[in-house]
Amino acid sequence: MFKHHTALSVASTLRPSQPVTLVRPHAARRAARFFLEKFPGTAMYAVKANPAPDLIRTLWDAGLTHYDVASIAEVRLVREVAPNATLGFMHPIKAPEAIAEAYHRHGVRVFSLDSIDELDKIVAATATNGVAATDLTLCVRLRVSSSHSKLSLASKFGVHADEAAPVLMAARQVADALGICFHVGSQAMSPQAYGDAIAQVRAAIVAAGVTVDIVDVGGGFPSIYPGMAPAPLEAYFEVIHRGFESLPISYSAELWCEPGRALCAEYSSVLVRVEARKEDVLYINDGAYGALFDAAHVDWRFPVQLVRETASRARDMEFSFWGPTCDDMDYMRGPFVLPADIKAGDYIEVGMLGAYGQAMRTGFNGFTAGETVLMSDEPMDTLYAVTPESSDKVIQLRKK
């Protein structure tokens, strides 16, 4: 894979007619190092955020040994790319066949659940010749608030803290290690989200009267986007550590987390071409059925920059985008701020698409991604202040 130094060099050299994914492994390595050095426990990469094999390999090589998988396909993927990784099957409702394959064929021992029915399913699927497994790590998922987060994960999974005692007690009877897990929602904008959730963990432990070996605070760790400037991640880690230390758990209990976005958002961006302009609307060659799913369906504002050999002197104005398909849902209202003289044939780099951009891409209407290009520059370096001296702060870049 040829390495380019800037998005402009990609545009100038390739003149691509399809979207080009620009990958920056050094950004993912720094993000992994940040969690490994700063988080007061074990970090498991949430594979759903970006299942690219090259990214998984990059994170493994950076020292990340634990991976949160949500399907048997993700189990197979990580086991193939990183054979020695520790996998946590953290989807609370799984097919019996998936549980059995994960346990018996791929060595998965960590499973999440939120009901007695799921517990019974795990016990049955992991048994050998009718003998129950004795090496299971079972994490009971609590339902907690997503009020501090941009995207809610509070409706589908989890048992309420005041109803969790029977599940926790039953899981304790068959688990080698018992955990409690939760997810505060994606892009949590305040550390208080974790403090509130850990209070629910405390209530559940006290009500059940069980010994808990693991507390998994899930994902939700934020990145910076236009209009979203969360506190530094160290502030989140401090709240989590303080809450964990106050819990009525054994001295040897472990603290886990499941970052996705915070590890991979800056791993890739997408270079798109403007195919047409109609006043303040740009028709581009990627969209809702490609890497810009979130921009269309949850009004996510990604950072953008014009990629042109001669810098524009025009004033900035707000644009919305139409994607390339024939579907009216292929619309991204933004606003995306770009120079007012942008025109058909210009290229735009859309940043922070390492999280969920690649994972959500489809081939609808025949529109697919073009090449993937390895980059050596910093993510969106014209938008964010990055210097060699501050590059270790990749997670917390501040806009100029």
DSSP type of residue 106:
T
| CA separation for the pair 246, 195 (Å, rounded) | 11
Domains and CATH numbers, the chain: 3-22+266-396 (2.40.37.10), 25-264 (3.20.20.10)
Query: The tokens 């799913």 sit on which residue?
Result: 293
Q: Which amino acid is it at 56?
A: I
226 phi/psi in degrees, rounded to 5: -55, 125
The structure tokens listed for 270 are 């997408």
Burial of 231 (0-12, 13-18, 19+ CB in 10 A): middle
| CA separation for the pair 43, 221 (Å, rounded) | 11
Per-residue pLDDT of the chain (400 residues), as tens digits, is 557 789 999 999 999 999 999 999 999 999 999 999 999 999 999 999 999 999 999 999 999 999 999 999 999 999 999 999 999 999 999 999 999 999 999 999 999 999 999 999 999 999 999 999 999 999 999 999 999 999 888 889 999 999 999 999 999 999 999 999 999 999 999 999 999 999 999 999 999 999 999 999 999 999 999 999 899 999 999 999 999 999 999 889 999 999 999 999 999 999 999 999 999 999 999 999 999 999 999 999 999 999 999 999 999 999 999 999 999 999 999 899 999 999 999 999 999 999 999 899 998 999 988 899 999 999 975 443 333 333 444 434 333 3
The structure tokens listed for 95 are 């097919």
DSSP type of residue 6:
S
The structure tokens listed for 239 are 């709240």
| CA separation for the pair 173, 140 (Å, rounded) | 13
